[in-house]
Amino acid sequence: MSFLEKVRGERRGRSDRTQGRRRVRGVCRLGAAILAALAALSGARPASTETNPTGEYQVKAAFLYHFAQFVEWPEETFKDAGSPLTYCTIGEDPFQGSLDAALNAKTIGARSFRVLHFRQPQEIQGCQVLFVRASEKKLLGAILASVKGNSILTVGDSEHFVQEGGMIGFCLEDNKIRFEINLETVQKAKLRISSRLLALAKSVIGGQRGN
pLDDT at 20: 45
Could you tell me the mean pLDDT of each successive run of 10 residues in the chain, 211 residues long?
50 51 41 54 52 77 95 94 95 92 92 95 95 94 95 97 97 92 96 95 83 53
Distance CA 150, CA 152 (A): 6
Nearest of 71, 13, 69, 63 to residue 43 by alpha carbon: 63
* Model confidence pLDDT, tens digit, residues 1-51: 554 454 355 555 555 544 544 433 443 443 455 555 555 555 555 544 444
- The pTM assigned to this predicted structure is 0.78
The domains of the chain are located at 43-205
Q: What is the full DSSP assignment across 172-209?
A: EETTEEEEEEEHHHHHHTT-EE-HHHHHHSSEEESS--
Q: What are phi and psi of 74, to 5 degrees?
A: -60, 145
Paired with 178 in beta bridges are 171
pLDDT at 36: 59
> In Å, how far from its chain's centre is CA 166?
14
pLDDT at 27: 34
pLDDT at 55: 86
SS3 of 162, please? coil
182 Cβ neighbours under 8 A, 6+ residues apart:
162, 163, 165, 166, 167, 168, 169, 204, 205, 206, 207
Hey, which CATH number is domain 43-205, 3.30.2420, 3.40.50, 1.20.1630, 3.90.550? 3.40.50
Q: Do 185 and 164 form a contact (C-beta atoms < 8 A)? A: no
Q: Do 135 and 92 form a contact (C-beta atoms < 8 A)? A: yes
pLDDT at 174: 87
Q: Count of alpha carbons within 13 Å of 24, Cβ hemisphere only?
A: 6
